[in-house]
Every structure is written in C-alpha cells, then in structure tokens.
A and B are shown apart, each in its own frame.
Chain A
C-alpha cells in the first residue's frame, strides 16, 4: 500500500500520515517506515482522537477515555492520508475529517484502511484498501500485528 500511496501523491514531499486512534496509529507508523524504505523520505506522522467529534458524543461512555490528538506538522498544504484499521459505518472517518480540518486546510485528504468490511452508513469510501470483506453486523473484526505485518481476524457472532 505504501508504494501506491506515494505513487498516487506523485512523490513523498507533500505527504503526511494521520492515524485514527487507536487502531490506525500503529498502521500509520508502519506505513511511514515502508515509505522511508521506498523513498528515503521520513513523512510526518500524526494521530487524531475522534471522541470529541462523535455524532453520539452526548451518549458516550460515562467514564470516557480520550487520547490526545497530535498533529506535529503544519496541516496547510499537505496531502494527508488518514489511516484506520477497519472501515465500517464511516462515522469514525467523518469525525476524523472534522477533527483534522480544525488544524488547518490541507491540500487533500485521502483514506487508507486495512480492511473494508462494508456496512456503510455515510457516503465515505476508502482510496487505499488492502482487504475487502463483507461480514454481517454481528461479526467482529480485529486487526492483530506481528513481525510479518497486520492481519485481520474475523470472529463470526462477535465473540473472540
């Protein structure tokens, strides 16, 4: 996927990666390593937490855990690739877009996910995707990491 991202962006100069907490953050970090191997360029990497931007914020967990958003680069002018592990309803991505735009006006935002599991509730589609799988709403998908990379594991019925 790293090569495709660089190719589509026409080089790594303007590229930046932003992982969506929590699943997208390690994937963004790994992508940045791959891009460095390919292009010998260290692209800036950030993280967004979408808890404050949820469309169900008022019914959120009574004891919510919120991670910090860290965008350690100037958003303005960058081609930003939002990175998440699993794309499902699209609501998380909607929230992440709003969060990101509060940091400035990027030239472009694209979406990269490891798994697209269908079930969209908003008109949002990925630009880069590794695996498309159509699973039922009660199934659960976990992305696990090991030395060889990331793997999607499907739990039919939702329990591991």
Chain B
C-alpha cells in the first residue's frame, strides 16, 4: 500500500520538466485503467461527480480540446468549454480578469491553452483551482508527451533504452520540448533533427543529441516522431519553401528504412500530408498516430483524476 502522506506529483500539471519518473510511471499505470474504461459498454465512471472542469482554450484546437472534454465527461465531471474567439477575451478582457471571473464560479480544474508561453503558470498562481497546461506557446504540452509515452510503452513494452528521433520544427515545438524532458526522464535516448534554423540554440539545456539532417537521426531509431511544420509560428525566412522542406526533411519510405525494422511512427497532429510526412507512411502499418489520439483520452482522465484528489484524508479500505 502506498504511504498516504506521499502525494502524486504536483498541485498543477504545468510541464514535464521536473516531473519525477515514478510520478510519470504512476500516471501511465493509472491511464491503463482508464484505457479499459473507454472499452466498456458504459464508457463512464462516477469518480468526478460534482467536480467542474473548465477548458479554457485561447488558441484553436480540435484534438486536445475534444480529448479533454471527453476525458472529463467519462469521469462524470461537469465540463465547460470556453474558446478565445467566442469569449469575453475577444471583447478585450485581460487574462487575469477572465481567470478572476471563472474563479468566482468555483471550478475544480482549469485546462488552459494559450499562445503565450507561461500563461498557465500565470493562471496557476492566481486561482484556487488545479491547472493543467494544454499547450502554452512554444513552451510545453505535458499531456501530449504523456500520451506519447503511453503509446510508446504500449507498442514497445518499455521506454528505457529506446532511441527516439523527434524530427521537424523543434525550435517552435512545445511537443518536442515536453517529450524530450519526459522521455529522457523515463530513460530513452532522444534525438532532435531539423533544419538549422528550426533547431534550438547549440547551447540548449535539453538532454538530447541534435542533428541538422534527418538521415543520421533516424539511423537505428525505435521511435520516429514527426512534428508538424507550424506555419502560424514561422515568421521571416526560416524555411525557403514547404516543397524544399518536404524534399530534405519529409519522412519518406526511403528515409524510414534507416530506422529499426520495427520502428513506430508518431505524429501529434494535425498532419500536413506530403510536407513533413508521406501520406502512405501516416496511414501505414508502422503508424501509431491514431493510437496516440486514443491514448490521449485515457491519459487525460488519469491527469484529471490525480489532480482532483483532495489529499490528506485517507479513507478506510
């Protein structure tokens, strides 16, 4: 039995940086339980009855918002969705005022996505609710990394010792950042590959090996994670053209052949087919892209469940 005084991770889930390995593994183990819930006839458990989860999305999102909404509903929480374009934010309300007003309605968990790095941290310091970072600017996207880890563990049995190549626009990618932190914490060897203009500075603090060509990064990889070219975050002349990017960095069958024969291919979505990945690979037998989406609901259920527990009152078993 677990020591009741020992609590899970942190009050909020703002990033994978600093998340301890045993807390991450505990969350992934719980997600296995929730994965089973989604396969039942009644895909819902009463665990978070009476809890309120607000999805506060200041940036467009289909997958992540829907995934958090379904996760909350399968736990019987009341889920409210707010998006930047349809809320008072478009009338000029500040983030602080929005949070203060939502706070007055006593939510238990705020799920925050924002284009500014650090916005969820700002919110977390100003609310009694628990905060989940659902993607902040170019900083972190912890639940994406956790669902990637869950998918890798299911496909490969373990994460420790695997070589994971993360390819594409690393510099702007919160997915790359969160994955690099989490997967190295869990014992994987992480590689970054991308055009020099889209790589983090050479003196970066990530525990990764960096490549400015995709071929050497794929050599012997167990997991190939392809990132979307984020046109909305690319300003100036970082990329000559999408066609050139596809030619030099797109994941083709020939390039994938450098990875291990049983390597899996991942993509956080949305996919630009024919740019960062060939459509035939995205739909191919080694792709686990839709498994990632399925894992997302289970992992987010585990996150909401762990954050909503009120510590200190251990019941009789």
Contacts and interface: CB of A to CB of B under 8 A. Distances in A.
A63 B32 contact: no
B94 to A, nearest CB: 32
B309 A60 contact: yes
A59 B317 CA distance: 12
Given A59-B310, A60-B309, A61-B2, A98 B46 contact: yes
A67 B1 CA distance: 12
Contacts of A98: 46
Contacts of B48: 57-58
Interface of B is mostly: loop
Contact of B8 (A49, A54, A57, A63): A63
A68 B33 contact: yes
Nearest to A56: B315
B297 to A, nearest CB: 15
Contact of A62 (B8, B40, B42): B8
A68 B47 CA distance: 15
B51 A102 contact: no
A72 to B, nearest CB: 12
B310 A58 contact: yes
A151 to B, nearest CB: 20
Interface in B232-246: none
Given A60-B315, A61-B314, A63-B7, A102 B2 contact: no
B250 to A, nearest CB: 40
A102 B8 contact: no
A59 B40 contact: no
A155 interface: no
Interface in B269-317: 305-306, 308-315
Nearest to A65: B2
Interface residues on B, range: 20 to 34
Contacts of A52: 33, 37, 45-47
A98 B50 CA distance: 17
B157 interface: no
A64 interface: yes
Interface string A91-106: 0000000110111100
A57 B30 CA distance: 15
A58 B6 contact: no
A9 B71 CA distance: 39
A113 to B, nearest CB: 16
Nearest to B23: A63
B41 interface: yes
Nearest to A101: B42
Given A59-B313, A61-B2, A61-B309, A66 B44 contact: no
B128 interface: no
Contacts of B92: none
B309 A68 contact: no
Contacts of A103: 40-42
A62 B308 CA distance: 9
Contacts of A69: 33, 36
Nearest to B313: A59
Contact of B33 (A53, A56, A57, A67): A67
Interface in A65-85: 65-69
B26 interface: yes
A53 B277 CA distance: 43
A65 B8 CA distance: 11
B46 A58 contact: no
B4 interface: yes
A53 B47 contact: yes
B317 to A, nearest CB: 9
A102 B309 contact: no
9 contacts: A52-B45, A58-B48, A59-B315, A60-B315, A63-B2, A63-B7, A64-B2, A65-B2, A102-B41
The 8 closest A-B pairs by CB, nearest first: A62-B7, A102-B42, A62-B311, A52-B45, A59-B313, A52-B47, A63-B2, A57-B47
Interface of A: 49, 52-54, 56-69, 98-99, 101-104
